[in-house]
Structure 1
Amino acid sequence: MRTTLEPSAQRREAGPESLLGLTIGSFQLTRLLGRGGMGAVYLGEHVDIGSRVAIKLLHGRLANSPQVLRRFHMEARAVNLIGHENIVNIIDINPAPPRPYLVMEYLEGEPLSALLGRGPVPAEVAVALLAQVCDALQATHARGIVHRDLKPENLFLLQRGHGPAFVKVLDFGIAKLLDSDERGTDTQEGAIIGSADYMAPEQSRGEALDGRADIYALGVIAYQLVTGRLPFVERSLTALLLAHQTKQPIPPTSLCPDVPPALSSVILRALAKEPGDRFQSASTMRGALQVALDMVRSPAGPTRTPPPMGPFSVRPALALPVLMTAHPGAAAEQLTCTDLTRGGMFLCMDQLLPPLLSRVVVALEHPDGELTCECEVVRHVQPEEARAWGMAAGFGVQFVEPSVSFKAAVAHLMLGQPLHTLRPPMDPAAEAEVEQVLAPYRERGTEDLYVFLALPPDSGCEELRVRARRACSALERLRERPISPALRAKAETVLDRVRKAAETLSHPRRRAAYDAERGNFQGVARCLAAGLTATQLEELRRDFLARRPHAQGPLRVHLATAQAHQQAGLLSHAREAYERALILDPLSLELHKQYLAVCRALGTSGRPGPGSGGKVNLI
């Protein structure tokens, strides 16, 4: 395969276009979607099922380079390690020459660069997009991975409904695994790898990197989103890299008065020259972006967080035990609250304090169960400051959208009443409403996940994800209603079951294994359409059949019957026999092909006949 990065259009298209029509694995290359320094990306269509994927094919001139192949393999490994909804899903990889390739989910939308080409966007839109990238980066960095090439071309926007665009982070081709055993390879040999317009100062100097380099790149993107221009525009690469290392960018609010000063400050902090002066985590930057946006909204209506609290005064009489969880999955720490207001509290702590603007969860112990509230860290009092001021070291937090029950608990405590005497407020109307929402889940039971989610067994994987996400959002809102702790616990149980059902059914491989156990061959067909490969299908099938040796006899009978009917031209009978065979062997790609051929001959989309047990459409 011949490729080039020369500007000539003729030379650009010579190599990639010649591969159209080629079959790679189970997919035929039908359209060139794009190309870059490492390879070209094609639309691939499954030759039997018709499902669409994106296939990234490595340039032929790079296919024999061990370093490039290692990097190519690292992209798949990095994405697999992270596993986040805002990161493109890689379905399969073939790292072997002559044509190494990745099979990825196919995305329909546009890159962020296309949006930027239309000019600056409002602060609300910018924050909505940046927050999603922060979520993806937080998951990335938590796995010890640095993207190292974050830029608008690598952020893809999908339109889902009428809300803000859904962001997918692409191209982990030069991502660095911080805990990789490949130290000293091509990503650490002093080579400058990345895009100069978005490159952190330490990256252009060839220094060791961590997640804060990605924070800098995101700061550049944020600058572009709100101003419509890059922070530095120079005539040469050297001048551009030096500008990132030495020059201070013009504040966004100076270029565009519509940019809120608080948001401008957040962006400038992300663009700090020294990593230690930037946000130390993507989640902290996300919190700062949200705070900046809330400050803009505050004159017009209720804020997401209360106004800043005044100075904390020490109240020795108050020594309230509080459980604090610094981040999801962390163990709760018991701290002492020495100051409490309607808007927040001060917690004593002389160890490493949570970062400013980070989110923590506090819990008050009540006989009917813990009362929790997410909080934002807004103040630090270091030990030396505490000694000077005659108070305890620790940190202050503001409550973020406290529930009715939590507000009642705070008010009760501020009146000097012990928490165990508080009867949580309950609204009979709210109780009836929550019971009405939970009742269908109880009636459906949890035996069949499709029934539990009120979805047909042939639902698409994306439809399942959307339905589960909406169900989770609705159930999460129920927890904040003024209801009894017992009913809140029931809502939590249902929410947990919905999440587990979604984890099983929205992932093609897990869903195929689940569907096979229930003879739902139509669900397996949906998994193939969502990108389940023939290799993965065969692996699942071997395990499935090994556990069912008794099914081989009936399977052969149904298959022979189906083939006999097909040869005799009795296609409706053949279809029913194939359906009975597929119920016994739902993971057989060959059976799916034969069944689909009969359905097409009948002029149907694969609707089951009367003998199929009610199975649904084959896609």
Structure 2
Amino acid sequence: MNLICPKCRSALPVKDGGALLQCANCNLKIDRRKIDLSSGLSAVPLVRDLRGETVGSYDIIDLMGIGGTGASFKARRRDDGQGVVLKMLFYDLLRKGDFVARFKAEVGAMTRLDHPNILQVLDFGQDEDLYWLVYEFVEGVDLTHYLRSFNLKQDEARSIMSEVCQAVAYAHEQGIIHRNLKPSNIIMGRGQVKVMDFGLASLTNGDYRMSGLIRSMPALASFNYMSPEQRLNLNEPDERSDVYALGAILYHMLAGRPPIGAYTPPGRLRRGLNPKWDEVVARCLAPDPTKRYAGIDELTADMEAPRPVQPNGNRTPLQLVLLLLALLSIFVYLWPYRDGLWLLLRGESVSRGVPNRIQALVDPPKSDSTELPRSILLPTDQARLLLYAQPSIQSPVVGMAAGEGESLVMKEIRTETGIPWLYIQAPNGDRGWLIKP
């Protein structure tokens, strides 16, 4: 007989009466005399290697994985060649006095579950000291691996959770509580989601292994999705325990990680989420079962209910201050142009107040600029002065007296304040008013 190495999953030959085992692949050494195969936190699940063997009417092909209750093998039914999954339960479960009776009751109920989102149990049985059950084979990956490969959009997370909730709600109607919902028990098939292992966790009576050799196994991950009453063994799990697990799975899909301890709402970890998800997750993960959804239907209704999608924002006080400063800067910049902007808002032409955009507001001197006295020519060292549309510093700026050459003074006036204003034509052709230097 061979066992499966708990480290590298290769075959581990067992010699008759031999207490010391060594894996030829990874060199792991195991003293069978120091390994307790009974339940407990120190238990290491030494699993019999069935690869190449026949169990019942099924030929075992390969190992698929080891979970919290047993090892799963890819198998083929001998009579028709159909591919299936055969799950062999751990040896230590057999030592529980009422195991056989509970195995027949629980697995018998599982075979009666008929729902498109539940991985169907096709068969179960016993072969000498092996207790096994057979699932339909679905091509795909479990949700754990799926989440490692993809960042789900909230609509996709809602769609997946909707199918999972339909499966769980149906099982609850049949009187079956899952007790161990987690991403590794959700199969992402082609166009359909399947939930597996309904009721199987009850066979362990809450026994989950945490040995250092198997910390990478899905059994440990169960604790991230397990309700407080299950962790502390306070009450018998009920529908609300499954609601807690569903909330933890939903949180993982939205936030990209499972909720651990005092979790952070998913909306604070991921921008743009609909605010309703924080509310749904918080109610699912309430430590007090009476504060959670009473049933799956309530959870589904809240997930499907339309809520106004408001930008999550997550703006810090510093971001708000910077935003206000930016708005204030825009206001100050546009203030000199308020008259023109007002005309635009009223649908009127701004050009009527901008002399360099139309004909001159005043007639230029009739004589050629070269014949004008030098006194009416603006020196070049006064270049780069602002030109205004009207003789007022509050009027819109239309250009600059910039460029090489001299600007032509076309008119001079004094305002009521006594300030002299010159109406000029700059070398670049712009016309406007400026204060006399």
TM-score by length of 2: 0.55
In the alignment, what sits opposite 1:172? 198
Structure with bigger helix share is 1
In the alignment, what sits opposite 2:305? 291
In the alignment, what sits opposite 2:269? 255
Which of 253, 265, 276 aligns to 2:290? It is 276
Question: What is the CA–CA distance in structure 2 between the aligned matches of 1:186 and 1:70, rounded to whole Å?
Answer: 13
In the alignment, what sits opposite 1:130? 161
**Deviation beyond 3 Å, 4+ runs, structure 1:** 1-18, 59-75, 173-176, 185-189, 191-194, 294-297
Matching residue's letter, 1:196: F
In the alignment, what sits opposite 1:220? 248
In the alignment, what sits opposite 2:115? 84
Question: What is the CA–CA distance in structure 2 between the aligned matches of 1:18 and 1:187, rounded to whole Å?
Answer: 25
Question: What is the CA–CA distance in structure 2 between the aligned matches of 1:119 and 1:227, rounded to whole Å?
Answer: 12
- Residue 38 (str. 1) matches residue 65 (str. 2): no
Matching residue's letter, 1:83: D
- Residue 187 (str. 1) matches residue 205 (str. 2): yes
Question: What is the CA–CA distance in structure 1 between the aligned matches of 2:56 and 2:89, rounded to whole Å?
Answer: 15
* Distance apart, 1:59 and its partner CA: 3.3
SS of corresponding position for 1:100: strand
Report if aligned partners of 2:55, 2:127 keep a CA contact under 8 Å in 1. no
Assess, with a 3 A threshold, how the Cα gap between structure 1 residues 93 and 207 changes in structure 2: closer, same or farther.
same
Question: What is the CA–CA distance in structure 2 between the aligned matches of 1:150 and 1:72, rounded to whole Å?
Answer: 19
* Distance apart, 1:171 and its partner CA: 1.6
In the alignment, what sits opposite 2:141? 110
Bigger drift between 213-222 and 10-19 goes to: 10-19
* Distance apart, 1:264 and its partner CA: 2.0
Matching residue's letter, 1:172: F
* Distance apart, 1:77 and its partner CA: 2.5
In the alignment, what sits opposite 1:536? none
Question: What is the CA–CA distance in structure 2 between the aligned matches of 1:94 and 1:66, rounded to whole Å?
Answer: 18
Tell which structure's C-alpha radius of gyration is larger. 2
* Distance apart, 1:25 and its partner CA: 2.2
Q: Deviations over 1:340-368 (max 9, x none)?
A: xxxxxxxxxxxxxxxxxxxxxxxxxxxxx
Question: What is the CA–CA distance in structure 2 between the aligned matches of 1:215 and 1:27, rounded to whole Å?
Answer: 36
Question: What is the CA–CA distance in structure 1 between the aligned matches of 2:231 and 2:47, rounded to whole Å?
Answer: 31
Assess, with a 3 A threshold, how the Cα gap between structure 1 residues 112 and 102 changes in structure 2: closer, same or farther.
same
Assess, with a 3 A threshold, how the Cα gap between structure 1 residues 167 and 8 changes in structure 2: closer, same or farther.
same
* Distance apart, 1:132 and its partner CA: 0.9
Which of 224, 229, 248 aligns to 1:202? It is 229
What is the root-mean-square deviation of aligned Cα atoms in Å?
3.2
In the alignment, what sits opposite 1:454? none
Q: Deviations over 1:571-618 (max 9, x none)?
A: xxxxxxxxxxxxxxxxxxxxxxxxxxxxxxxxxxxxxxxxxxxxxxxx
* Distance apart, 1:295 and its partner CA: 4.0
Matching residue's letter, 1:171: D
* Distance apart, 1:30 and its partner CA: 1.2
Q: Deviations over 1:444-499 (max 9, x none)?
A: xxxxxxxxxxxxxxxxxxxxxxxxxxxxxxxxxxxxxxxxxxxxxxxxxxxxxxxx
In the alignment, what sits opposite 1:435? none
Which of 154, 157, 169 aligns to 2:188? It is 157
Question: What is the CA–CA distance in structure 2 between the aligned matches of 1:51 and 1:39, rounded to whole Å?
Answer: 22
Matching residue's letter, 2:167: A
Q: Deviations over 1:484-518 (max 9, x none)?
A: xxxxxxxxxxxxxxxxxxxxxxxxxxxxxxxxxxx
Assess, with a 3 A threshold, how the Cα gap between structure 1 residues 40 and 109 changes in structure 2: closer, same or farther.
same
Question: What is the CA–CA distance in structure 2 between the aligned matches of 1:68 and 1:290, rounded to whole Å?
Answer: 40
Assess, with a 3 A threshold, how the Cα gap between structure 1 residues 262 and 201 changes in structure 2: closer, same or farther.
same
Report if aligned partners of 2:183, 2:249 keep a CA contact under 8 Å in 1. yes
Matching residue's letter, 2:233: G
Matching residue's letter, 1:187: N
Structure with bigger strand share is 2
In the alignment, what sits opposite 1:29? 60
Report if aligned partners of 2:51, 2:61 keep a CA contact under 8 Å in 1. yes
Matching residue's letter, 1:257: R
SS of corresponding position for 1:124: helix
In the alignment, what sits opposite 1:266? 280
Question: What is the CA–CA distance in structure 1 between the aligned matches of 2:301 and 2:183, rounded to whole Å?
Answer: 22
* Distance apart, 1:140 and its partner CA: 1.5
Report if aligned partners of 1:72, 1:95 keep a CA contact under 8 Å in 2. no
In the alignment, what sits opposite 1:7? 7
SS of corresponding position for 2:149: coil
Q: Deviations over 1:165-194 (max 9, x none)?
A: x11111235445xxxxxxxx97389x9998
Which runs of 5 or more structure 2 residues have no equivalent in the other structure? 14-22, 24-45, 211-218, 311-437
Report if aligned partners of 1:113, 1:152 keep a CA contact under 8 Å in 2. yes
Matching residue's letter, 2:140: G
What percent of counterpart residues are identical?
31
SS of corresponding position for 2:130: coil
Matching residue's letter, 1:207: L
Bigger drift between 131-140 and 10-19 goes to: 10-19
Question: What is the CA–CA distance in structure 1 between the aligned matches of 2:8 and 2:125, rounded to whole Å?
Answer: 31
Question: What is the CA–CA distance in structure 1 between the aligned matches of 2:117 and 2:186, rounded to whole Å?
Answer: 10
* Distance apart, 1:138 and its partner CA: 0.9
TM-score by length of 1: 0.40
In the alignment, what sits opposite 1:56? 87
Matching residue's letter, 1:220: A
SS of corresponding position for 1:221: helix
Question: What is the CA–CA distance in structure 2 between the aligned matches of 1:53 and 1:29, rounded to whole Å?
Answer: 10
Assess, with a 3 A threshold, how the Cα gap between structure 1 residues 71 and 119 changes in structure 2: closer, same or farther.
farther
* Distance apart, 1:273 and its partner CA: 1.4
Matching residue's letter, 2:128: P
Report if aligned partners of 1:174, 1:187 keep a CA contact under 8 Å in 2. no
In the alignment, what sits opposite 1:142? 173
Assess, with a 3 A threshold, how the Cα gap between structure 1 residues 3 and 268 changes in structure 2: closer, same or farther.
farther
SS of corresponding position for 2:166: helix
